[in-house]
Chain A
């Protein structure tokens, strides 16, 4: 796969939120308004790109048995660096994100990409993957943030659209986020199903996107499914 394809797959085909359904906690918590979503997305993008790069470089050195702790240490380092930098140079964004900034460490998108991609691919491809996935995540957070902010408070990026002040309050909170995300996921599935129907094939989510192929947590007792 070309570098460009690695970069663009994060936006639609393998979007971390809409297709891989990873990182739900920060998605729901920080998409209550567009500015928050943007700040969270960019911080995660930086961490993803940095950790992907470093993990790709050290992938051949790390013994398999301790790879996960090593990856977590690398990710935690990047998160701490981002936290300090934001505290120093973007204190407003730092305050807005609050606890969710240090919690990027346990964002499954970051560890997921380290384990599923950066530990098996070269430097450039890993950087492109991290950047693409991060921007895909940012894109979804900003979209969700815009819709939720607009419905809840009638504003976009804090600017009043002059339609209502007292909106649909539940959209500003976690349940509203769940409902909206569910609707969007359903819409995505519908689109993909229609596309598959037109092409005359049965739609089935790719095996990479569920638990069957993954050996991180060994919850599944079945043999891992071989993916193409």
Chain B
């Protein structure tokens, strides 16, 4: 005989699952609504902090005025323009490239003429600790003796990173820079991470160059 008690009635089972899913949807929806504003604030703060660190002092809101452009290689790049008193004081471009452990995203700042100023990596956490992070990491290095002595880390300036700093002052040429020909710094053992940084700086730099050239052409017309 077919057992049609409550616990095995398919309609009851479906109804029960529906109720469980409904309640859980409600809980998730409430959390999503409640955390929406803090999440946006956290993301905006991260971008704003990064921009403040790598750009000269500005008085506009580059994050709000950001535009999406594409590099000549077809990679999406987000362009921030920093102005002070209406004058452009610098650009920052956000780009991403594949590293060893997924996408490495970074922001590159430029002088108004398109020369690279500073490179920082936003998310390079998937790179191998101790190897790949040597290329991507700009966090303040604290040592155990600093902690014991109570030395406070210096947060006023950006911590150096030989690989990222090697791009400063470079202006993109016609050909992509290579580790043999150019002075850009590749870390041995971290080829993938080094390539990722090189790629993303290249995408950002060429996109900015194309953007500047287009703007100049428009002005000339």
The answer to whether B13 touches A91, judged by C-beta atoms less than 8 angstroms apart, is no
For window 51-108 of A, CB contacts with B under 8 Å fall at 61-66, 69-70, 73-74, 76-77, 80-81, 84-85, 87-89, 91, 95-96, 98
Contact of B67 with A by CB under 8 A: no
The answer to whether B8 touches A65, judged by C-beta atoms less than 8 angstroms apart, is yes
The answer to whether A65 touches B46, judged by C-beta atoms less than 8 angstroms apart, is no
The answer to whether A76 touches B130, judged by C-beta atoms less than 8 angstroms apart, is no
Nearest CB of B to A42, in Å: 17
Kindly list chain A residues whose C-beta atoms are within 8 Å of the C-beta of B133.
153
Report the count of interface residues on B (CB-CB < 8 A).
Answer: 37
A84 and B143 in contact (CB under 8 A), knowing A65-B8, A74-B24, A173-B128?
no
The answer to whether A73 touches B12, judged by C-beta atoms less than 8 angstroms apart, is no
Contact of A184 with B by CB under 8 A: no
Identify the closest chain A residue to B41 (Cβ).
A88
The answer to whether B32 touches A84, judged by C-beta atoms less than 8 angstroms apart, is yes
A80 and B38 in contact (CB under 8 A), knowing A73-B20, A73-B21?
no
Contact of B212 with A by CB under 8 A: no
Kindly list chain B residues whose C-beta atoms are within 8 Å of the C-beta of A70.
16-17, 20
- Name A's B-contacting residues (CB within 8 A): 32-33, 61-66, 69-70, 73-74, 76-77, 80-81, 84-85, 87-89, 91, 95-96, 98, 149, 152-154, 156, 158-162, 165-167, 169, 172-173
- Name B's A-contacting residues (CB within 8 A): 6-8, 12-13, 16-17, 20-21, 24, 27-28, 31-32, 35, 38-39, 42-43, 46, 102, 123, 125-126, 128-131, 133, 139, 141-145, 147, 189
